[in-house]
C-alpha cells in the first residue's frame, strides 16, 4: 500500500459503517451469544447422546473428553479423506472425520448426513438394521447439530442416481457414528446463507422470493464461522499461495529473507498515520513498513532482501481497500545503474505469480468465483510501463483533469485502468517517474528534473498495489528530505548513520498481500481477504 496515498473524496464516500451502527451490531452479537449459551445448556440437559439400554450403544454417541485428551496413539492412516472417496472404494469400509453440514431425518429409522471436509462433501446414510444400526442410533444422528465434528465409519456404496447435494458421487452406509465436538444448536450464521452469492439473492428477489443476505459486519463478528464457506476457504488458500510464490521466486533470484522489528523509535514513512506508544518510558511507534531496516540491511551488504510481515497504518480510512494492519510483502535490492532493475524483478515476479495461481489454484478460484463471480485477470508476458506524464495525458485526452504534480485519486486510478485495458489489453501495468512531492522522503529525485522521482507504482484492475523506487543513499540528502517531510531526524538517526559507512545504490518496493488477493480475485472489499481485519472500527475478534 502506497505510503503516499491519502484519503480523497471519492474514497471517503465509501464509508460503510458508522460508530453507532458498529455498536448496535456488537450489541446484537452479544445478545445472540447469550441466547446460544442458554440453548447449549438446554441441549446438554436433554442428554440426547446414547440410550444405555441399547445393545448397540457402543456404535454411536458423544466421545467422552477423556478419550479426546491424547489418551492413546492412533494410526492416522486409518482415516480416509473425503476427497479420496470414489468408486474405487466400493464395498470398502472407511473411517472419515468431518463437519456435519446437513442433517436430514427421514422418519424414525433413517437419516441422511452430509459430511464436509475442506471443499469436499459426502452423503452418509444412517438406516436402522438388525445387529448393525439401532433406531436409537438414527435418533442420535438426527439430534446432531449442524457444524458438529463427527467420526463416521461405514461401507462405501455407489448410488443408482447422481447425488446433487455432495461433491463425492458415492454414499457411505454408516455403521458407527461418534461426535467429537458438538456445535451450538443455534448458530449466529447459517453457512448456507453465508455461502450464497449476490446473483442468487437478486434472482430470488426478481422471482418474488426472499433469501437471507449475511452482511459484512455480521460475517466479521462471527469470522470463524464465515471462514468455513467454500469461497473463504478458497480466498485464504490463494493468499497462502501468493505469499509462498513471492518467497520462492525471490529465493530463486538470490534474495535473503529477513525479519525486521515492528517496534521502532520514529516514523518510517512520515505523515500522521502512525501508531504511537510508550516503550518503557520512551516514545515509540509501530512500524509503518520495514523500509528503514531493510535499507539498513542493504547497507550491511546483504545485497538482496525481502520480508513478509505485519505493517501498521493509523489511517482514518473507511474505504474498501484500506486497513490499519495488513501483511506487507517487501523487497530491497542493490542496483547497478537504474531503478528499472527493480521494475524488472516486479515484472518477472508477478507474471510468474499470476501464472502459478492460474495453474495451481483452479479449485480455489472456482470456489471463490461461485460466490463472487469475476473475470480472470488480463496481463501481458512483458508488463506494460508508462511514465506518470503519459498516464496523465491519457486521462486529459478523455477530459479528466489531474494536478500535474499531484497524486492520482481513486477515481482517476480506476479511469486510467479502464483506458489502459482498452488500449493495451492488460489490467496489470506500471506507472513510473512520479512527482517527488507525493513520494516518501527516502525516494531518489530524478537527475533531469527534481520535481519528479525515480519511483513507480503498479496497478491491478485500476487500483494501486505496489509502491517502489530508487532510494536516497546519500546521508546529507536523506536528512534534507526527512526534514522537508516533517520527520524529526533525531528519531531516525541510526538509520541515516547507516549510510555514512558506505552504501550501494539500491531500490525496492512494498505491496499489500490482502490487496493483491482482493484484486486478482476481483473482490470488492479488502476485508474479504484479511483473515481477521483491523480497521478504525474493528479490533476484534
How are strands ordered across the β-sheet holding 455-460?
256-257, 304-312, 325-334, 506-512, 463-470, 455-460, 428-432, 384-387
Between the two ends of the chain, the Cα-to-Cα distance in Å is: 24
pLDDT above 80: residue 40: no
Percent of the chain with pLDDT over 90: 82
Q: Which of 182, 304, 321, 433 is catalytic?
A: 321
Higher pLDDT, 23 or 441: 441
Burial class (CB in 10 A: 0-12, 13-18, 19+), 243: middle
* Per-residue pLDDT tens digits for 94-110: 999 999 999 999 999 99
Residues 76 and 215 in one domain: no
Tell me the CB-side half-sphere exposure of residue 344, using CA atoms within 13 A: 9
What's the confidence (pLDDT) of residue 72?
83
What's the confidence (pLDDT) of residue 336?
97
Residue 50's pLDDT band (cuts 50, 70, 90): low
- Dist. CA 102–CA 121, nearest whole Å: 10
Q: Which of 219, 304, 322, 538 is catalytic?
A: 322
Q: Which residue from 144, 127, 120 is spatially nearest to 50, judged by alpha carbons?
A: 144
* Per-residue pLDDT tens digits for 318-335: 899 999 999 999 999 999
In a domain, 537, yes or no: no
- Dist. CA 495–CA 475, nearest whole Å: 9
What's the confidence (pLDDT) of residue 23?
62
* Per-residue pLDDT tens digits for 108-143: 999 999 999 999 999 999 999 999 999 999 999 999
Residue 53's pLDDT band (cuts 50, 70, 90): confident
Residues 152 and 236 in one domain: no
Question: Which domain covers residue 211, as residue numbers?
Answer: 191-222
Residues 134 and 272 in one domain: no
Q: Is 223 a known active-site residue?
A: no
Using an 8 Å Cβ cutoff, are 466 and 511 in contact?
Answer: yes
Residues 40 and 135 in one domain: yes
In a domain, 49, yes or no: yes
Residues 256 and 217 in one domain: no
Q: Which residue from 246, 336, 259 is spatially nearest to 297, judged by alpha carbons?
A: 259
Residues 487 and 342 in one domain: yes
Q: Is 413 a known active-site residue?
A: no
Residues 265 and 155 in one domain: no
Percent of the chain with pLDDT over 70: 89
Q: Which of 196, 439, 506, 515 is catalytic?
A: 515
Q: Which of 307, 325, 464, 479 is catalytic?
A: 464
Residue 3's pLDDT band (cuts 50, 70, 90): very low
Domain end: 181, 212, 238, which one? 181
Q: Is 257 a known active-site residue?
A: no
> Quick one: how many helices (H) and strands (E) in the chain?
17, 17
Q: Which of 178, 223, 304, 313 is catalytic?
A: 313
pLDDT above 50: residue 48: no
Q: CA-based diameter of the chain, in Å?
A: 91
What's the confidence (pLDDT) of residue 464?
96
Residues 328 and 461 in one domain: yes
**What does pTM read for this prediction?**
0.89
Q: Is 515 a known active-site residue?
A: yes
* Per-residue pLDDT tens digits for 186-199: 999 999 999 999 89
- Dist. CA 394–CA 409, nearest whole Å: 15
Residues 166 and 254 in one domain: no
What's the confidence (pLDDT) of residue 162?
92
* Per-residue pLDDT tens digits for 365-390: 999 999 999 999 999 999 999 999 99
In a domain, 465, yes or no: yes
pLDDT above 60: residue 316: yes
Q: Which of 467, 481, 527, 538 is catalytic?
A: 467
In a domain, 264, yes or no: yes
Task: Name the DSSP letter for residue 336.
Answer: S
Burial class (CB in 10 A: 0-12, 13-18, 19+), 29: middle
CATH number of the domain residue 146 falls in:
2.40.50.140
Please tell me the total count of domains within the chain: 3
pLDDT above 60: residue 45: no
- Dist. CA 301–CA 336, nearest whole Å: 14
Q: Is 315 a known active-site residue?
A: yes
- Dist. CA 267–CA 288, nearest whole Å: 7
CATH number of the domain residue 429 falls in:
3.30.930.10
Residues 30 and 171 in one domain: yes
- Dist. CA 269–CA 272, nearest whole Å: 9
Task: Name the DSSP letter for residue 195.
Answer: T
Q: Which residue from 147, 126, 151 is spatially nearest to 136, judged by alpha carbons?
A: 126
Amino acid at each position: 500500500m502506497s505510503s503516499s496515498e491519502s484519503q480523497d473524496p471519492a474514497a471517503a464516500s465509501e464509508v460503510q459503517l458508522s460508530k453507532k451502527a458498529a455498536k448496535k451490531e456488537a450489541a446484537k452479537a452479544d445478545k445472540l451469544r447469550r441466547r446460544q449459551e442458554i440453548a447449549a445448556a438446554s441441549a446438554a440437559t436433554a442428554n440426547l447422546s446414547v440410550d444405555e439400554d441399547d445393545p448397540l450403544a457402543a456404535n454411536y454417541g458423544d466421545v467422552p473428553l477423556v478419550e479426546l485428551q491424547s489418551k492413546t496413539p492412533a494410526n492416522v492412516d486409518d482415516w480416509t479423506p473425503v476427497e479420496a472417496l470414489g468408486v474405487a472404494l466400493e464395498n470398502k469400509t472407511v473411517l472419515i472425520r468431518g463437519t456435519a453440514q446437513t442433517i436430514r431425518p427421514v422418519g424414525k429409522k433413517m437419516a441422511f448426513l452430509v459430511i464436509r471436509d475442506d471443499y469436499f462433501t459426502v452423503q452418509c446414510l444412517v438406516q436402522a438394521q438388525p445387529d448393525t444400526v439401532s433406531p436409537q442410533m438414527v435418533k442420535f444422528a438426527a439430534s446432531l447439530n449442524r457444524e458438529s465434528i463427527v467420526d463416521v465409519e461405514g461401507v462405501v456404496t455407489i448410488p443408482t442416481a447422481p447425488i446433487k447435494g455432495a461433491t463425492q458421487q458415492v454414499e457411505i452406509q454408516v455403521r458407527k457414528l461418534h461426535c467429537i465436538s458438538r456445535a451450538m444448536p443455534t448458530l449466529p450464521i447459517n453457512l448456507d446463507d453465508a455461502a450464497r452469492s449476490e446473483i442468487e439473492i437478486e434472482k430470488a428477489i426478481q422471482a418474488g422470493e426472499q433469501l437471507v443476505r449475511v452482511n459484512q459486519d455480521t460475517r466479521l463478528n462471527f469470522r470463524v464461522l464465515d471462514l468455513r464457506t467454500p469461497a473463504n476457504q478458497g480466498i485464504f488458500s490463494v493468499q497462502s499461495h501468493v505469499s509462498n510464490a513471492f518467497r520462492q521466486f525471490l529465493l530463486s533470484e538470490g534474495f535473503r529473507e529477513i525479519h525486521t522489528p515492528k517496534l521502532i523509535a520514529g516514523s518510517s514513512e512520515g505523515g500522521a498515520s502512525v501508531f504511537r506508544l510508550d516503550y518503557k518510558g520512551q516514545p515509540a511507534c509501530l512500524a509503518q513498513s520495514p523500509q528503514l531496516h531493510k535499507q539498513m540491511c542493504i547497507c550491511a551488504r546483504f545485497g538482496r532482501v525481502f520480508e513478509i510481515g505485519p505493517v501498521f497504518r493509523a489511517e482514518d480510512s473507511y474505504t474498501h481497500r484500506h486497513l490499519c494492519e495488513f501483511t506487507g510483502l517487501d523487497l530491497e535490492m542493490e542496483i547497478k545503474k537504474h531503478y528499472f532493475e527493480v521494475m524488472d524483478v516486479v515484472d518477472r515476479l508477478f507474471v510468474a505469480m499470476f501464472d502459478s495461481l492460474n495453474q495451481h489454484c483452479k479449485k480455489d478460484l472456482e470456489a471463490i468465483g461461485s460466490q463472487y463471480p469475476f473475470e480472470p485477470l488480463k496481463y501481458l508476458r512483458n508488463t506494460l510501463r508508462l511514465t506518470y506524464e503519459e498516464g496523465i495525458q491519457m486521462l486529459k485526452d478523455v477530459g479528466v483533469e489531474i494536478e500535474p504534480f499531484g497524486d492520482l485519486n481513486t477515481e482517476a486510478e480506476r479511469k486510467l485502468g479502464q483506458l489502459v485495458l482498452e488500449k493495451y489489453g492488460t489490467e496489470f501495468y506500471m506507472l513510473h517517474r512520479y512527482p517527488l512531492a507525493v513520494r516518501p522522503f527516502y525516494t531518489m529525485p530524478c537527475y533531469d528534473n527534481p520535481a519528479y522521482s525515480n519511483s513507480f507504482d503498479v496497478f491491478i484492475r485500476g487500483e494501486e498495489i505496489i509502491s517502489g523506487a530508487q532510494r536516497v543513499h546519500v546521508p546529507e540528502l536523506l536528512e534534507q528530505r526527512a526534514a522537508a517531510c516533517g520527520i524529526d531526524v533525531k528519531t531516525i538517526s541510526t538509520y541515516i548513520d547507516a549510510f555514512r559507512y558506505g552504501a550501494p545504490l539500491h531500490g525496492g518496493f512494498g505491496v499489500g498481500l490482502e490487496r493483491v488477493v482482493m484484486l486478482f480475485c476481483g473482490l470488492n472489499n479488502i476485508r474479504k481477504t484479511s483473515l481477521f481485519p483491523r480497521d478504525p472500527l474493528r479490533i476484534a475478534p
